[in-house]
Homo-oligomer: A and B are copies of this chain.
């Protein structure tokens, strides 16, 4: 039997393996019409798919998980956004400033031409902007615990989830490494923070990739950036 681990299969979302294994990189046959596409975990949406010439592409995630990221010549990586089912993201025209997009699990996307769907394109840009601005706040002004709390809540909101004993259960399509590159931390710090959350009872997990949010309210309090009652001494970026 073919083994597929929780992260890849998503547990909640079994996929058609044959379709998922279709080689990516093949240009859609009818670029003007919606086109369904399957991507395997780890695969990049290549240049061909990302932007063909001048006309900008739009991707709607039907199922699975995409990561939009940038690389430094150096090798450092920053994941700009994580997109789950329902999200539409724009493939910026390539070049040095063009971002790359990668699937974190078996993912089904709909490929559209931005010129054909200006309204959807505008909406996608708007949402990306709002999310990125929030993320900049996170990257520039939050500490490790706040970052991880925000990350978990974002993922919980984006990915369909079951309740287990009344608590939201979340399948992480991101590895600790992905989380680190998304939240501007290192793998070790992410791991330590998650384990700290587990010890204090805010979350729970047996397998690294399946997390139960046992105290979402506490996570929300941490994530919100509200002043803590217990004397918040922080000064970084503080304004009267």
Contact = CB atoms under 8 A, between A and B. Distances in A.
**What range describes how many residues of A lie at the interface?**
35 or more
A129 B130 contact: no
B136 A136 contact: yes
A74 B80 CA distance: 24
B133 A70 contact: yes
Interface in A24-81: 70-78, 80
- Taking the full assembly, how many copies of this chain does it contain? 2
A139 interface: yes
Interface of A: 70-78, 80, 90, 92, 97, 99, 118, 121-122, 125-126, 128-130, 132-137, 139-141, 180-181, 183-184, 186, 224-227, 232, 234-240
- The 5 A-B residue pairs with the shortest CB-CB distance, nearest first, are A140-B184, A72-B225, A139-B139, A76-B237, A139-B140
